Each structure stands twice: as structure tokens, then as C-alpha cells.
């Protein structure tokens, strides 16, 4: 992911969104290694996120020669709220490690695509923050008592 883009929620949230976008664009199953290459992250970290997405019913894992991961639901039915809930269920804040094992040209293209997606996601999260703050203004400590 692009270094010039500020963090978007928990690091694994942005990575999860990248994973789901990659799966939505694919026509078949993708391995965790393929997804890790697309997102420039370690396969181990990807598998942790994929496990959470699978537990939430957003992706499906298939074993075997033609195995890998695919979306379990149509992309139109997976909200960012679903993604955030899936990856923040335990409150920990793991950091994604950026690693690209592809040749440099392919790595640079993947980084550009990831940066474009991060910028779009950043705009969405800015609006989420704005709307959340507006909503929270309507609730006081007194209303909680």
C-alpha cells in the first residue's frame, strides 16, 4: 500500500478491503500467496485476515489443486461495515508488513493500484468519521446515565 496515504482504520481493514476487491475482480479462486502479492503483504498475515473474513461469511476457502479463496457473497452485498466488523472482532491492532516478491515492474504496478484503492478508501473513511462525529454530537454523557 502507498506510503503517502495516511492509515485507514486498523491496518488489517485496508488489507481486507484490498483482498475483497481482488477476489471480486477475479473469475476464480485465488491463493493467499497470489493475494499477498497483489496487496504487497506477507502470506501469513493474509491468511490471518482471510480466516477472519471466512469466519464472518464473506469469503470461502477451498482446498486442493484448484483451491484458494473466493467471495462467498456477491460484492454488492458486502458492506465496509461488514469488513470492519470481521477484522476488528478482538480489538487487537496488528500491523501489515509490506513485502513484494514480484519483479520490480509488477511490484510497482501493484503498488500504484493499491495506492489508488487506498485513496478511494481514505475518502470513504473520512466521510464515515464526519458522519460518526455528527451522530455522536446528538448523544451526551447525560443521555447515557
- Residue 143's pLDDT band, with cuts at 50, 70 and 90, is low
36: cell is 499477498
Using an 8 Å Cβ cutoff, are 54 and 60 in contact?
A: yes
- Residue 72's pLDDT band, with cuts at 50, 70 and 90, is very high
How far apart (Å, rounded) are the C-alpha atoms in residues 94 and 81?
A: 19
pTM to 2 decimal places: 0.65
Q: Is 9 left (phi over 0), alpha (psi -120 to 50) or beta?
A: left
The domain ranges of the chain are: 11-144
Q: What is the CATH number of domain 11-144?
A: 1.10.10.10
How far apart (Å, rounded) are the C-alpha atoms in residues 37 and 50?
A: 14
Q: Rounded mean pLDDT of 43-60?
A: 91
How far apart (Å, rounded) are the C-alpha atoms in residues 108 and 106?
A: 5
pLDDT per position as a tens digit, 77-136: 998 888 888 887 654 444 433 434 445 566 677 778 878 888 888 888 889 878 877 887
* Confidence (pLDDT) at 51: 94
Amino acid at each position: 500500500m502507498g506510503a503517502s496515504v495516511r492509515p485507514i482504520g486498523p491496518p488489517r481493514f485496508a488489507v481486507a478491503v484490498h483482498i475483497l476487491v481482488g477476489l471480486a475482480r477475479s473469475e476464480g479462486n485465488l491463493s493467499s500467496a497470489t493475494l499477498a502479492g497483489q496487496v504487497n503483504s506477507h502470506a501469513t498475515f493474509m491468511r490471518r485476515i482471510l480466516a477472519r473474513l471466512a469466519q464472518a461469511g464473506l469469503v470461502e476457502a477451498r482446498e486442493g489443486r484448484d483451491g484458494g479463496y473466493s467471495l462467498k457473497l456477491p460484492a454488492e452485498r458486502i458492506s465496509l461495515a461488514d469488513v470492519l466488523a470481521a477484522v476488528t472482532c478482538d480489538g487487537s491492532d496488528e500491523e501489515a508488513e509490506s513485502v513484494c516478491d514480484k519483479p520490480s515492474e509488477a511490484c510497482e504496478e501493484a503498488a500504484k493500484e493499491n495506492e489508488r484503492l487506498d485513496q478511494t478508501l481514505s475518502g470513504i473513511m473520512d466521510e464515515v468519521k464526519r458522519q460518526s462525529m455528527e451522530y455522536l454530537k446528538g448523544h451526551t454523557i447525560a443521555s447515557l446515565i
